[in-house]
Amino acid sequence: MKTIKKLWNYSCFDCYAFGILIAVELLMSFTFLGYLHIPPISVTIAYLPILAAGCLLSPAHSVVIGFTFGIASMYKASSSYVMPADAIFSPFLSGTPASSLWLSVGTRTLFGLIIGAAFLAARKTKRNRLWIGVVAAISPKVHSLLVYAAIGTLFPELGYRYSSALHWEWDDAVFALICVVTVELLWTAYQSNTMQNIRFCIDQSVDNPYSSKKMNLFFVIFAFFILFMAICATFYFSQRESYMLNQHGFAVSDQVSSDLLHLQIQFLVASLSLNVISVILLSCIYKYMSYNGYQREMDELTGVMGRRMFLYHCDKMQKTCSTTTQKTGWFLFVDVDYFKKINDTFGHPVGDKVLKEIAMHLQVIFGEDGKVGRLGGDEFAVIIETPMPPQELGQRLERFLNLISGILPEQKTSCSIGACQFVFPQTVKHILTETDKILYQAKENGRACYRMQAHPCQEPVTCGGNG
């Protein structure tokens, strides 16, 4: 299980890309996009998503898409109206189910494994673009070789052998060119700066406080709604087609009715594939735009949350907590002492350095238990969302004050800190007001200290500094 988990431990963006490739595979398998009909057989190019998965993702992904391609081709070959040469791909029509299953599913899955491993090796070379193009160019022949070898072994009466795939015709050059161009364009797009920026935004959107879980639920409900309506439409139109043909004087046998339903299911899968692609793209656009909005709300200098985002997060945290849990948290105001003097004496670049260092230490000390924000100027705030005893908070504040004291070699850097314990849920306005009173008391005590109130009924405790 650990190996499987590690194998599929890919980014959110890669998962979306994989979902799109599966949908494209089904779309090509069940429409004219994936097949070229050259009597007496159909020549397929529906393996292109397998190449894309092998090149952009991993052999495991290309194997799954190869398996999907095999299942789709097996289903498509199971209707009574297919050409005789294609019927051998159906375990229901060939008379030898095991042989047809290997031919339709086994060869395509094996193709996905071989191509995925070849692309993995190509990506590790110094001239990876060249070797990626080589793998893409030979992939049609590899696919043909596997299929023809299986036909020659399992259905020798048809007269096909593995050598049938070794002949080179003009159409082979066309297929090779299609594969090379497709893979190279996808690789270029996937590695571009624009796509990498989109990838970063989507992957980081998991930690975006502006991202709405309700919106994610909406996408899920929307997808299931589309699935339900498509299934209903499939059975409805299948029945109406039979009725319409009967009304026009065409006798519809059970076999014809079954083929109509078979065809409608193909249409259903193709339609659902388009809808899946649409839902995934809409979800990606939402996550990308949401994270861009999140980035704009981050404080550019220190890298912590800006004022509006921090207060939004605090309000969101209060609203999501139950009134029956009695969970406690802490709110901290942190003011840099005599910051204007630092700027006037050493210059603004040094002042910026002080703010960055203070934000960094706050993140290190409290980041795992809550969020840090810069409310403006030299004022920071921290919300601690997990229960923490006053003794532990005091130890962390002492550590913070000791760490920041040596930021400037010429002068000791200090902060005045007010810490207020509260019980979830609580209005943010009330928390800010109470914490601001405690911070003011810390400043009156001589600065370079922290003052905390563990409970509204208890007296505040001042430690450090001149108090």
Verify that 291 and 311 share a domain, yes or no: no
pLDDT at 225 exceeding the cut of 50: yes
Q: What is the pLDDT of residues 62-81, one digit of tens each?
A: 999 999 999 998 998 888 77
More confident residue, 313 or 38: 313
Burial class (CB in 10 A: 0-12, 13-18, 19+), 90: buried
- pLDDT (mean) for 324-344: 88
Verify that 284 and 314 share a domain, yes or no: no
Residue 300 lies inside a defined structural domain of this protein: no
- pLDDT (mean) for 191-212: 80
Residue 237 lies inside a defined structural domain of this protein: yes
* Euclidean distance between CA atoms 386 and 378, whole angstroms: 26
Beta strands in 288-393 (DSSP E): 328-336, 370-376, 379-384
Query: If you search the block for the tokens 């840090």, which residue do you land on?
Result: 372
| Helical residues (DSSP H) of 8-127, grouped into ranges | 12-29, 48-56, 59-76, 97-101, 107-123
* Euclidean distance between CA atoms 28 and 135, whole angstroms: 21
CATH of the domain at 340: 3.30.70.270
Tokens of 415: 């902060």
Closest CA to 135 of 92, 180, 81: 180
Verify that 322 and 449 share a domain, yes or no: yes
- pLDDT (mean) for 91-112: 92
Q: Which residues pair with 381 in a beta bridge?
A: 333, 373
Verify that 267 and 323 share a domain, yes or no: no
Domain that holds residue 225: 2-295
Residue 406 lies inside a defined structural domain of this protein: yes
Residue 430 lies inside a defined structural domain of this protein: yes
pLDDT given at position 382: 96
Domain end, chosen from 246, 264, 295, is at 295
Q: Percent of the chain at pLDDT above 90?
A: 48
Verify that 58 and 165 share a domain, yes or no: yes
Residue 424 lies inside a defined structural domain of this protein: yes
* Euclidean distance between CA atoms 111 and 356, whole angstroms: 53
What total number of domains does the chain contain? Answer: 2
Verify that 212 and 165 share a domain, yes or no: yes
Q: What is the pLDDT of residues 385-437, one digit of tens each?
A: 888 999 999 999 999 999 999 899 888 999 999 999 998 888 899 999 999 99
Verify that 158 and 251 share a domain, yes or no: yes
Closest CA to 22 of 71, 86, 84, 80: 71
Residue 302 lies inside a defined structural domain of this protein: no
pLDDT given at position 454: 79
Residue 381 lies inside a defined structural domain of this protein: yes
pLDDT at 25 exceeding the cut of 90: yes
More confident residue, 50 or 217: 50
Residue 135 pLDDT level (bands cut at 50, 70, 90): very high
pLDDT given at position 458: 54
Q: Percent helix, strand, coil in the chain (nearest 5)?
A: 65, 10, 25
Verify that 327 and 287 share a domain, yes or no: no
Residue 265 pLDDT level (bands cut at 50, 70, 90): confident
Residue 52 lies inside a defined structural domain of this protein: yes
Domain end, chosen from 295, 320, 349, is at 295
Residue 30 has phi, psi (to 5 degrees) of: -110, 15
pLDDT at 372 exceeding the cut of 70: yes
Domain end, chosen from 295, 322, 357, is at 295
H helix count then E strand count, the chain: 16, 8
CB atoms within 10 A of CB 403: 17
| Helical residues (DSSP H) of 84-192, grouped into ranges | 97-101, 107-123, 128-154, 170-191
pLDDT given at position 8: 44
More confident residue, 236 or 16: 16
Verify that 160 and 233 share a domain, yes or no: yes
Determine the length of the chain.
467
Verify that 344 and 368 share a domain, yes or no: yes
Verify that 155 and 289 share a domain, yes or no: yes
* Euclidean distance between CA atoms 51 and 25, whole angstroms: 11
* Euclidean distance between CA atoms 467 and 460, whole angstroms: 12
The amino acid that residue 251 corresponds to is A
| 8 A C-beta contact, residue 228 and residue 36 | no
Q: Which residues pair with 370 in a beta bridge?
A: 384
Closest CA to 332 of 197, 403, 402, 436: 436
Strand duo 461-463 + 450-453: pairing? antiparallel
* Euclidean distance between CA atoms 88 and 74, whole angstroms: 9
Least trusted range by pLDDT, from 122-126, 210-214, 449-453? 210-214
Q: What is the pLDDT of residues 41-56, one digit of tens each?
A: 556 788 999 999 999 9
pLDDT given at position 7: 40
Tokens of 310: 């921090």
Closest CA to 381 of 346, 427, 349, 336: 336
Least trusted range by pLDDT, from 57-61, 208-212, 228-232, 411-415? 208-212
Tokens of 11: 């980014």
* Euclidean distance between CA atoms 376 and 348, whole angstroms: 15
Verify that 151 and 44 share a domain, yes or no: yes
* Euclidean distance between CA atoms 322 and 324, whole angstroms: 5
Q: Which residues contact 34 (CB under 8 A, 6 or more apart)?
A: 27, 28, 44, 45, 46, 48
Q: Which residues contact 413 (CB under 8 A, 6 or more apart)?
A: 336, 337, 342, 354, 357, 358, 404, 405, 406, 407
Tokens of 136: 């893409």
pLDDT given at position 3: 39
pLDDT given at position 213: 66
* Euclidean distance between CA atoms 144 and 148, whole angstroms: 6
Q: Which residues pair with 44 in a beta bridge?
A: 35
pLDDT at 347 exceeding the cut of 90: yes
CATH of the domain at 53: 1.10.1760.20
| 8 A C-beta contact, residue 106 and residue 144 | no
pLDDT given at position 455: 67
